Structure 1
Amino acid sequence: MPDYLATLQRDGFVVIPSLLSPSEVSLLRDAATKATILARSGNWPFFRTVPKQFPPWPNVAPPASEGGIWGVQHLLHPDMPGRTQFANFYFSEKILTVVEELLGVGTAQSTSSRSTQKGGEEQEELLVMELFNLLVAPETRDFELRWHRDDVPETVPSDEELKLLEAKSPNGRQFHAQYNLALCPDTSLIAVPGSHRRVRTETERNADPYESDMPGQKIVKLEPGDAVFYDSNILHRGVYKHKPEGNGEETRLTLHGSVGLQGTDGKVRATAVLQHGVGKWIDREDAAMHAGERAEKMRRNLIAMGRGEDVGYSLQG
């Protein structure tokens, strides 16, 4: 088996080809297309809007002539029509096995987290349900994200930047695993390999926020079914090409998820997750996960984070 953790620690990201079969991709692509149409038509209230990069996003999507939306939020919400398909993927062994490796959850720990001790004593689930969203192509205009790290403001000086990077990835490991899984060919993610372990160079610090040719940058190319797991504090950006005029098919459908590790960085991780509003619905009576016992335990771990009032936002813009 490839050493995904070693690659992630070295480069800041690791591409896993063909994580899903063509039939699995087809099923999820259908559900994702329906979710996108629902959001674009104004019948789903949770989305990411052009040209805003970070939450909070407006409650009303801009018209298609202004770009519309670039993401659909809360695929695991109890009111999402495709929730079953999305939950079966998010809580699948294919995903969680990779997550466990990247988070350093050992075989004995992960096995016990899914079962019970002799005598019926329930074991603690180590993983936490976090976010599961969808990234899509804007309708009429291209949209770009500026260079950033997900949880380190670009305004901090070098010494503070280093402290934050070390605190968020002690001994080279993060407290969560974050990924993009493509349902269409995708070249939207651009990252600077190795930048998750160092402060920005003077060139990077002084570059245009939308610099198209950052030294050392790499375009991450994904085919349908491929996934990239990446350190959220690698220096990265996104470039979203709009749908070609007259093309009814969606040209970008990328599942964007994160899974956390219980009992780690407290308020910092709570802010990163709850700033998206997931805490406002995850404890609803109809929000129980019907994707196995482990899924429900992971949901309860998220509920324990709180509802998210006054947690603030990681980044602005």
Structure 2
Amino acid sequence: MEEYKVNVGGRIFHFSVDSLTRDSPNLLTEHLLSVSESQDENEIFFDRDPEVFEFIAKHLRGYNIFPLIKENLPVGWNLYNFIQCLTQDACFFKLKGLFTSIRPFYYFIESPTAIDIFSREEKMVFNLQKVDPTKLHIENDDIMHVVQGKHIKAEFFAGNLVWDLISDNNWEFKFINNWDNVMVKRISKEILPQADPNVEYYAGESGGAFFSIDDIEMNGNDVYEHTVERSFPLQQTNRPFSCVRIWLKKLVFSLRIPNDPDKPLIIVPVWGIGLTQIYHKSLKYAKFF
């Protein structure tokens, strides 16, 4: 049986053809199975973390690596950072099947509860239009929900949002569906009695969210970098306030209370899918690419 060696950060992993092609096409098959016979290359080196790749190797050999729990991680890793690195390496090695397994599709079910496949932590995932704001409260600056006396993090999903990326650290969200907008205002008013009922845009926060923008999978922190070039044509018209606008078909998010009580709630995205637009605020101009 043909054997292939993958050197990751100085550690050798041995694979059969069946393992390499289990989640293919991928970067490994591109380098190891696409070379000419005269090259006779059965080994390749990648400067990546071998502890993270160990889980990728298990995935390629057909093992179910989920749910990920802290007790099963290499020593010194916390769960959040490991998931982030595993996601980055799933993209680096072009392992679409692994990336799909990581993405929390279960957030979009109608059930009010969901189990986090990464940590087994139960959390409430609400359809925003079915929220009862009076049953929500704040703990540690996040919206929480009480179930049988236990505080559980509440996350929400909604559709049809406008997401303006004014810069790499200045984001704004707007709900297109009027009832979604009403529900966010009710939540805001319940938690911040002085909240301005006329607020239309809600500040956004970057972080470890997963997005599929224009059918390209990316981490939340990378969205602006990957889409900013789309606003260049407007910037060159010498008109101010051009930015990248994304129409989000779906978004899972949590809500955070800002330090300044005069500001609206902050949307902390978790996962979403959407399409890029360019947008010129001064002209109220939007165009799909």
Q: Normalising to structure 1: TM-score of the pair?
A: 0.21
Which protein, 1 or 2, shows the higher relative CO under an 8 Å CA cutoff with sep ≥ 6? 1
Q: Normalising to structure 2: TM-score of the pair?
A: 0.23
Larger strand fraction of residues: 2
